[in-house]
């Protein structure tokens, strides 16, 4: 079975500061891992994904995440926060490219950027 834990339901950073959003996963098979962003009243937009290739994954808007199997983690980082980064962020895990696989989501982290 797969599950995701996101530590910190709310994170506040100053504009220009490092963004670090934490995600730990549990999976009985090699996982695919994802970060999605949700802006207010919007759908889910894929930021980046890990699909068993490079462990350091770069995504859109300057975000990146590193897959660490030994720590079962997939933390999301951005060197310098921008006001437009304020949103809800979701980590998700799936069973890989399995037909009809489920995507299991964490409970989300709300990022606030302070000017």
Partner 1 sequence: DTAVSQTPKYLVTQMGNDKSIKCEQNLGHDTMYWYKQDSKKFLKIMFSYNNKELIINETVPNRFSPKSPDKAHLNLHINSLELGDSAVYFCASSQRGEAFFGQGTRLTVV
Nearest CA among 79, 109, 91, 107 for reference residue 18: 79
Q: How near is the Cβ of 112 to partner 1 at its closest, in Å?
A: 14
* Nearer to partner 1 (CB atom), residue 5 or residue 17: 5
Neighbours of 36 (CB within 10 A): 21
* Nearer to partner 1 (CB atom), residue 37 or residue 81: 37
Positions in the binding site for partner 1 (CB under 8 A): 32, 34, 36, 38, 41-46, 49, 51, 88, 90, 92, 94, 96-105, 107-108, 110
Nearest CA among 34, 31, 29 for reference residue 6: 34
């Amino acid at each position: 079975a797969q599950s995701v834990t996101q530590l910190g339901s709310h994170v506040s950073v100053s504009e220009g500061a490092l963004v670090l959003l934490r995600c730990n996963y549990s999976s009985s098979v090699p996982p695919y891992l994802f970060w999605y962003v949700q802006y207010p009243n919007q759908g889910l937009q894929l930021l980046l994904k890990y699909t068993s290739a490079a462990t350091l994954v770069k995504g859109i808007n300057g975000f990146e995440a590193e897959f660490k199997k030994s720590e079962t983690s997939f933390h999301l980082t951005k060197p310098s926060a921008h006001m437009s980064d304020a949103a809800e962020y979701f980590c998700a895990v799936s069973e890989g490219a399995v037909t009809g696989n489920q995507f299991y989501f964490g409970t989300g982290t709300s990022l606030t950027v302070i000017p």
